[in-house]
Amino acid sequence: MKYQTQKIAQAYFLVAMALFAIQVSGGLLAGWIYISPNTLSELLPFNIVRMLHTNSLVVWLLLGFMGAAYFLIPEESEQEIHSPFLAYLTLIIMVVGTLGVVVTYIFNLFEGNAILGQEGREFLEQPLWVKAGIVVAALIFLYNVSMTLLKGKKTAISSVLLIGLWGLALLFLFAFYNPANLALDKKYWWYVIHLWVEGVWELIMASILAFLMLKLTGVDREIVEKWLYVIVATALFSGILGTGHHYYWIGTPGYWQWIGSIFSTLEVVPFFGMMAFAFVMVWKGQRDHPNKAALLWALGCAVLAFFGAGVWGFMHTLHGVNYYSHGTQITAAHGHLAFFGAYVALNLAIFTYAFPILKNRDPYNQVLNMASFWLMAGGMTFMTFVLTFAGVVQTHLQRVMGENFMDVQDQIEIFYIMRFGSGIAVVLGALLFIYAVLAPRKEVIEPGHMQQRAAAE
């Protein structure tokens, strides 16, 4: 660790990983409710479980991004973080807010109260005081990292990261607008979540990947930056108007069908670019970095993001296809692999890279970490395939044959059972990952004969 304030990242990463464990456990519970629908139906209804699963995902990814910023901005700008106190204060606000949301979701203590109570929304559902807290935390965070960057060296990687983080915070402001009209509510909801994951988060993703490639492969910064600019340009070009693919059937004018279809098809390009970038850097790179697990996660991230976000997204993004597949398990398949590939794997990659440095130990032996990669990636791809098959059958029975929704659900139960099995693999993988990152392994693994030969040459 070159800069003492990089240590801040560790606190963020720990909270993020704790939420990660809760998030996947909640996912497992939701997967079980698909098999046995009356589970906890009174205590913890499915819509609450699902909201906890998706919203805790978003929160822990955000905490991971913030931690990543605290880790890499000092190194990039060659400058200690402006104020460590403010950095920890932000984390405390985020944690209190998260707990407040969970309590409000589950117990609904302040029904009808404008500031403390639920807003009655499906996803942008936080009590107003938490929303305000998130904005305050975001402002403090942005002030802190921007001041650091302004004092130090400005690189393409840290600048793109900062633009992404600013965009993230500004777009959240749409969450304060709560129109009575449900169609309008959806419209503005996408201003937040779509423009996040298919806009500014891609900037954050590209810059963190670029940082990892720079460190792990030793390719020249100039080359990394050229790729970064091209990826960022194509991401923003396609992603912003790509929002149109959410406006097919919510009462917006028909031209959105063509805007959405055309631009969101091009959204595949930046994800392909990131995958190509990662592999080309590894091929060109001269450095044999010992942290092989971080490299595995980084490459896995780029590949799974391309398939999950790119290929699985394209599969149902054309409005002619989406007319049939909208809201079926196809969407769930895409959502799972896209979030896992693009943003979960990205966070786990930077955790894997950072932890040995933060804890000041060499990455002795990462067999467990790599095993957790294959367990999680394998579980998640299996889940994606199973849900895709379920979605195809569901689309045909429900949308083509016109059968009743619940009759169709009965017929695709076998897929839900298999999905639950793959969910167990993912949860075990997640727990194994957390253990592998936190508990040092003492014995050193001998490198394989390939590496020994390479070292001898």
Cβ contact 203:285 at 8 Å: no
Q: Residue 347 Cβ, how far from another protein at the closest point, in Å?
A: 28
Rank residues 55 and 261 by Cβ distance to another protein and give the closer one. Answer: 261
Rank residues 234 and 381 by Cβ distance to another protein and give the closer one. Answer: 234
Rank residues 132 and 280 by Cβ distance to another protein and give the closer one. Answer: 280
**Phi-psi sector, 38: left (phi>0), alpha (psi -120 to 50), beta:** alpha
Give me 82's structure tokens: 């402006």
Which residues lie near another protein (CB under 8 A)?
226, 229-230, 233-234, 237-238, 253-255, 258-259, 261-263, 265-266, 269, 284
Cβ contact 135:169 at 8 Å: yes
Cβ contact 194:238 at 8 Å: no
Q: Residue 199 Cβ, how far from another protein at the closest point, in Å?
A: 15
Q: Residue 107 Cβ, how far from another protein at the closest point, in Å?
A: 47
Cβ contact 305:275 at 8 Å: yes
Q: CA 30, CA 331: separation in Å to the nearest integer?
A: 16
Cβ contact 378:425 at 8 Å: yes
Report the candidate in 271, 299, 298 with the shortest Cα–Cα distance to residue 352: 298
Cβ contact 174:207 at 8 Å: no
Q: Residue 255 Cβ, how far from another protein at the closest point, in Å?
A: 5
Q: Is 371 helix (H, G, I), strand (E, B) or coil?
A: helix
Q: Residue 244 Cβ, how far from another protein at the closest point, in Å?
A: 11
Rank residues 253 and 402 by Cβ distance to another protein and give the closer one. Answer: 253
Rank residues 176 and 229 by Cβ distance to another protein and give the closer one. Answer: 229
Rank residues 25 and 265 by Cβ distance to another protein and give the closer one. Answer: 265
Q: Which helix (H) or strand (E) holds 143?
A: helix 128-151
Distances (CA, A) of 55 to 48, 51, 102, 359: 10, 6, 10, 30
Q: Residue 284 Cβ, how far from another protein at the closest point, in Å?
A: 8
Q: Residue 370 Cβ, how far from another protein at the closest point, in Å?
A: 31
Q: Residue 183 Cβ, how far from another protein at the closest point, in Å?
A: 17
Give me 279's structure tokens: 């592999």
Report the candidate in 273, 329, 288, 339 with the shortest Cα–Cα distance to residue 309: 339
Rank residues 226 and 359 by Cβ distance to another protein and give the closer one. Answer: 226
Rank residues 239 and 363 by Cβ distance to another protein and give the closer one. Answer: 239
Tell me how many helices (H) and strands (E) the chain has.
19, 0
CA–centroid distance for 78 within its chain: 28
Q: CA 25, CA 52: separation in Å to the nearest integer?
A: 10
Cβ atoms within 10 A of the Cβ of 24, count? 23
Rank residues 70 and 271 by Cβ distance to another protein and give the closer one. Answer: 271
Distances (CA, A) of 418 to 264, 371, 409: 31, 21, 14
Q: Which helix (H) or strand (E) holds 283?
A: helix 268-284
Rank residues 196 and 227 by Cβ distance to another protein and give the closer one. Answer: 227
Q: Residue 258 Cβ, how far from another protein at the closest point, in Å?
A: 6
Q: Residue 234 Cβ, how far from another protein at the closest point, in Å?
A: 6
Q: CA 82, CA 67: separation in Å to the nearest integer?
A: 15
110: DSSP letter: T
Q: Residue 198 Cβ, how far from another protein at the closest point, in Å?
A: 15
Cβ contact 124:191 at 8 Å: no
Q: CA 259, CA 256: separation in Å to the nearest integer?
A: 5
Rank residues 40 and 266 by Cβ distance to another protein and give the closer one. Answer: 266
